[in-house]
């Protein structure tokens, strides 16, 4: 009887853990869906969105829906998002990420923004894969051009990262100083069913998980499959 009781308790714990894992995975899939919606919406207005030629040059993209600006001011974390990088002529499976530690120009307060970051060179890409990405210094971050305003700005042309923010429907390039991005380990385990290094996912060595189809379709549609000249 005691053994049966222990088995019953163990089975109950396993069941509870399974339900918790399923709920966590649903949350991560919802995050990817929100990221896909953000990307679709900011690219749906050619005169106000990310210029296609800029996106075509990007090495990686990070999308963070509901990025909390107020949290940065008091030193808290900023938000949860997802990243994908080019792997030759394709794009990697999505990698859950967390971001924080940034200031957003003069835009302070508790409002939330949808954030899109385009990593434009290999240094920024490699730092993200290594889990030590921090904008500033060698990884220069500039407000990204919007619509047809691509050329003429040296800082934009030479930036390692181009950043964009959307608040209350308004979309614009906004410079992020000191933004940090790294692996969201619990979300990664929930999405892929096991721990997986950020570099493995972003190098293209992970299968595309169920639930990320909309996001991957959106990235391929807007960024294209073939990159152009690399920024050094």
Q: What is the CA radius of gyration of the chain?
A: 19
Report the predicted TM-score, pTM, of the whole model to 2 decimal places. 0.81
Structural domain boundaries, residue 208? 40-223
32-73 tens-digit pLDDT? 999 999 999 888 876 777 888 888 899 999 999 987 655 443
143-179 tens-digit pLDDT? 888 876 565 555 567 889 998 888 766 777 777 767 8
Task: Extract the runs of DSSP E, i.e. beta strands, from 176-215.
Answer: 180-183
- Whether 20 maps to a domain, the answer reads no
- Whether 167 maps to a domain, the answer reads yes
- Whether 4 maps to a domain, the answer reads no
**Close Cβ partners of 114 (under 8 Å, ≥ 6 residues apart):** 38, 42, 63, 64, 65, 66, 67, 165, 166, 167
- Whether 162 maps to a domain, the answer reads yes
Q: How many domains does the chain have?
A: 1
Q: What are phi and psi of 95, to 5 degrees?
A: -115, 120
- Whether 28 maps to a domain, the answer reads no
- Whether 8 maps to a domain, the answer reads no
């Amino acid at each position: 009887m005691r053994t049966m009781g222990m088995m019953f308790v163990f089975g109950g714990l396993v069941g509870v853990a399974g339900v918790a894992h399923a709920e966590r995975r649903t949350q991560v899939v919802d995050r990817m869906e929100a990221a896909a919606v953000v990307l679709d919406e900011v690219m749906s207005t050619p005169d106000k969105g990310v210029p296609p030629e800029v996106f075509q040059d990007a090495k990686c993209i990070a999308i963070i829906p509901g990025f909390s600006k107020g949290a940065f001011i008091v030193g808290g974390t900023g938000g949860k998002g997802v990243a994908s990088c080019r792997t030759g002529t394709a794009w990697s499976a999505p990698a859950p990420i967390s971001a924080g530690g940034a200031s957003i120009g003069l835009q302070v307060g508790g409002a939330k923004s949808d954030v899109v970051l385009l990593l434009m060179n290999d240094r920024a890409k490699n730092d993200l894969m290594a889990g030590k990405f921090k904008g500033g210094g060698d990884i220069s971050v500039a407000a990204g051009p919007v619509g047809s305003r691509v050329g003429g700005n040296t800082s934009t042309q030479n930036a390692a990262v181009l950043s964009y923010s959307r608040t209350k429907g308004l979309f614009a390039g906004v410079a992020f100083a000191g933004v940090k991005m790294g692996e969201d380990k619990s979300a990664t385990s929930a999405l892929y069913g096991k721990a997986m290094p950020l570099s493995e996912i972003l190098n293209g060595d992970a299968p595309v998980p169920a639930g990320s189809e909309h996001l991957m379709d959106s990235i391929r549609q807007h960024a294209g499959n073939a990159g152009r000249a690399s920024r050094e």
